[in-house]
Amino acid sequence: MVAFYQMMNVRRFAPLLAALLLLPSAAPAAPAPHLEKAVLAGGCFWGMEAVFERLHGVRDVVAGFSGGAKLTAHYEVVSTGMTGHAESVEITYDPAQISYAKILDVYFTVAHDPTQLNHQGADEGTQYRSEIFYIGDAQKKTAEATIRDLEARHAFPAPIVTKVEAFQAFYPAEAYHQHYADRHPDDPYIATVDEPKLAALREKFPDLIAKSH
């Protein structure tokens, strides 16, 4: 008797089971993109952040500090110029959309002046130095090759003073520094110092700018 009812249940649900087997299987989820990071210093991080967050393929840019200890990674302390920190940006990017070499092109060409030692314009102190904090040998080789090429072409009227050092750590700056240029476009500093960088970016690298900008 039990076997009879089991057979009847199978027959009863057979059409449903057949229909389920004919349904298309769900497409496998697309793999998450492989993202990499770059850490660069070149004067006030407000303008550096504003430039790089406009690039296609850049997923995130954080203003912060690199080169010193965690204990001293606070704006007021870093501003003394005695911490070893440089105002920096941490750039998270998709290397399938933008290369590290291209990021460095923007860095040297529009984001800052690599010939100014321990200052950018009126901003003076070692915290405003030009420095590349490379993450891995590939970034180191790319950075050194880029500098050699720029020097060979005499791209600047003065020697490049950009330091190339191994990355140790990055510490985000206080919340009010994040996306400062976009949140305060009428700030006289932004209008005078950083808007010209964005104008240069639009002029020299129009194909690299994300459509959202």
Q: What is the pLDDT of residue 211?
A: 81
pLDDT band at 140 (very low <50, low <70, confident <90, very high): very high
pTM attached to this predicted model: 0.85
Q: Is residue 131 within 8 Å of residue 114, measured between CB atoms?
A: no
Tell me the per-residue pLDDT of 154-169, one tens digit each, with 9 for 90 and over.
999 999 999 999 999 9
User: Which residue range forms the structural domain that includes residue 61?
Assistant: 36-207
Instruction: Give me the mean pLDDT over the 95-117 stretch.
Output: 98
Q: Is residue 87 within 8 Å of residue 128, measured between CB atoms?
A: yes
Q: What is the pLDDT of residue 166?
A: 98
Q: What is the pLDDT of residue 20?
A: 43
Q: 196 an active-site residue?
A: no
Q: Is 2 a member of any domain?
A: no
Tell me the per-residue pLDDT of 74-89, one tens digit each, with 9 for 90 and over.
999 999 999 999 999 9
Of the listed 39, 44, 62, 103, which one is catalytic?
44
Q: Is 15 a member of any domain?
A: no
Q: Is 63 a member of any domain?
A: yes
Separation in Å, CA 77 to CA 67, 82, 87, 156: 13, 8, 12, 33
**Rounded to an integer, what distance in angstroms lies between the CA atom of residue 172 and that of residue 153?**
35
What percent of the chain stands above pLDDT 90?
83
Q: Is 23 a member of any domain?
A: no
User: Which residues contact residue 48 at a Cβ distance below 8 angstroms, ignoring those fewer than 6 apart?
Assistant: 40, 41, 42, 63, 87, 88, 89, 111, 112
**Rounded to an integer, what distance in angstroms lies between the CA atom of residue 115 and that of residue 120?**
9
Residue bearing the bigger pLDDT, 121 or 33 = 121
Q: Is 202 a member of any domain?
A: yes
Q: Is 25 a member of any domain?
A: no
Instruction: Give me the mean pLDDT over the 181-210 stretch.
Output: 97
Residue 35 has pLDDT above 80, yes or no: yes
Instruction: Give me the mean pLDDT over the 110-139 stretch.
Output: 97
Q: What is the CATH number of the domain that holds 98?
A: 3.30.1060.10
Q: Is 4 a member of any domain?
A: no
Q: Is 21 a member of any domain?
A: no
How many domains is the chain built from? 1
Residue bearing the bigger pLDDT, 38 or 6 = 38
